[in-house]
Amino acid sequence: MPDLGLEVLIKGNNLGRLLGGLWIAIEISLLSIAISIPLGILLGILMTRKNRLIRFLTKFYLEFIRIMPQMVLLFLVFFGTTRSMGWNLPGETAAVIVFVMWGTAEMGDLVRSALLSIPRHQYESSESLGLSRKQTYFYIILPQTLRRLIPVSINLITRMIKTTSLILMIGVVEVLKVGQQIIEANRMSSPNAAFGVFLVIFILYFVICWSVSMTARYLERKWS
Amino acid sequence: MDFAYIERVLPLYERAAALTVQLGMEGILLSIVIGLVCALILYEKIPVLRRIVMIYIEVSRNTPLLVQLFFIYYGLPKIGIVLTPEVCGVAGLAFLGGSYMAEAFRSGLDSVEDIQRESAYSLGMNRMQTIHYVVLPQAVSTSIPALLANIIFLLKETSVFSAISLMDLMFTAKDLIGLYYKTTESLALLVIFYLMILLPVSIVGAVVERRVRYAGFGT
């Protein structure tokens, strides 16, 4: 049996450090999704407006965010704005900003299609009952869309967790970076650490994303 | 904007874009093949293989490409599998894309009604002929929009290739920012080059989607 470099993980607190790195990635995605949900609902409502200018602007925003690789967005915020605005943005903040921008766009599109799937008579009936526009959205439309939204937004969470692996590239010390550090530190004692460490990271990501997407699938089946 | 600088680095970006497109295309072609094979295995419910395909799809869909690439590029050489960065990139992209393509083909295959298959059997066609002449043509035409969406997704995913020292657009931009500190120009070029690659595909996708909506059979 070849040396798979797994013994590095039980040395010292290495596994704990890896999990800590993973937690940073998860924290960033949970924080971003928590901010994106309300913003996304707002964007989704804006996107169903009849106003041409609003529709054009929201569509443009959505398409731009969609077509750019997330890595490019990260670079734009992390390197681009620090240079042009002259501030010093930590990688974590830049990551949250990018994921919120992206999450809002994706969420907005999901909200838009959920809103459009609500039959028109729901709007008309509530209007004929004398509810104001705000009341209509708040009491009639949003409760119905939320239920359709929850499974798809959970899917968005898994996509976000997967995408957080990219923040390594803007200098955030997350699980991959911690993995590299462990490999570097144990270069002499266990030269094959790269296999074991990256395998474990692979499995960690899989376990987390898989359980989240299983939950989404379960909810989708239950509520459809 | 420093246009002299832009002119100077433009060839670097062109070379990087060519690499991005080339590796992207190779990975996409491979992933289409993998996806089609996997979808057919699921469709025909071939015993053992079906389980393997299902596990593969779950694993590939629930892990980030960057982690897959790190494992292939840094991990595998330790057990004796040494691949060049190019091969790693294409292999990683195909591993990731295969499952997405399989899902796209599967929904296309599912949309073909049972009666089509049954009719083909009653005309005396065998399993291969049924798949080839009856099921696939209908399934593929309905899955084209999903395939194009996946192609855009995979082209975007190539941006992580820079992590395994492939000189793609991201790598070039980061390298130039580090060398000359012309952040604005380098990032502007990066955005423009990605738009030049992705926008045409996305427009084709929108047009095709509108067309294909009428090509479905009996819907």
- Report residue A217's pLDDT band, with 50, 70 and 90 as the boundaries: confident
Q: CB neighbours (10 Å) of residue B37?
A: 16
User: Which chain B residue lies closest to A67 (C-alpha atoms)?
Assistant: B198
The more confidently predicted of residues A123 and B59 is B59
Distance in angstroms (rounded) separating the CA atoms of residues A9 and B140: 46
- In the predicted model, what is the mean pLDDT of residues B69-90? 91
Domain residue spans of chain B: 3-212
Mapping DSSP to helix (H, G, I), strand (E, B) and coil, where does residue A174 land?
coil
pLDDT of residue B22: 95
Distance in angstroms (rounded) separating the CA atoms of residues A153 and A144: 15
CATH superfamily ID and name for B3-212:
MetI-like (1.10.3720.10)
pLDDT of residue B218: 44
B176-217 per-position pLDDT tens digit: 988 988 888 899 999 999 999 999 999 998 888 777 666 544
Structure tokens at B86: 């190019």
pLDDT of residue B213: 65
A65-99 per-position pLDDT tens digit: 999 999 999 999 998 888 777 788 888 999 999 99
- Report residue A224's pLDDT band, with 50, 70 and 90 as the boundaries: low
Q: Do B191 and A72 touch (CB under 8 A)?
A: yes
- Residues of chain B above pLDDT 90, percent: 67
List of chain B residues whose C-beta atoms are within 8 Å of the C-beta of residue A89:
none
- Residues of chain B above pLDDT 70, percent: 96
Distance in angstroms (rounded) separating the CA atoms of residues B169 and B160: 10
Are A156 and A103 contacting, i.e. CB atoms less than 8 angstroms apart? yes
B95-140 per-position pLDDT tens digit: 999 999 999 999 999 988 889 989 999 999 998 899 999 999 989 8
pLDDT at residue A46 is higher than 70: yes
Distance in angstroms (rounded) separating the CA atoms of residues A171 and A167: 7
B189 close contact with A: CB closer than 8 A: no
pLDDT at residue A208 is higher than 50: yes
pLDDT of residue B214: 60
Q: Do B156 and A69 touch (CB under 8 A)?
A: yes
- Best probe of the A interface among B159, B175, B189, B198, by most A CBs < 10 A, is B159
ipTM of the complex: 0.87
A50-63 per-position pLDDT tens digit: 889 999 999 999 99
Q: What is the mean pLDDT of chain B?
A: 90
Q: Give which of B32, B26, B11, B31 is closest to B86, Cα–Cα.
A: B26
Total residues found in chain B within this entry: 219
Domains defined along chain A, listed by start: 7-223 (1.10.3720.10)
List of chain B residues whose C-beta atoms are within 8 Å of the C-beta of residue A79:
177, 183, 187
Structure tokens at A15: 């596994």
Q: Do A4 and B79 touch (CB under 8 A)?
A: yes
pLDDT of residue B215: 53
CB-side exposure of A156: number of CA atoms within 13 Å?
24
What region, left, alpha or beta, does residue B64 occupy, with left being phi > 0 and alpha being psi -120 to 50 degrees? beta
- Residues of chain A above pLDDT 70, percent: 99
- In the predicted model, what is the mean pLDDT of residues B146-173? 92
Q: Give which of B74, B131, B140 is closest to B104, Cα–Cα.
A: B140
pLDDT at residue A218 is higher than 70: yes
pLDDT at residue A178 is higher than 70: yes
Are A157 and A99 contacting, i.e. CB atoms less than 8 angstroms apart? no
Structure tokens at A201: 């990271």
- Best probe of the B interface among A71, A78, A88, A89, by most B CBs < 10 A, is A71
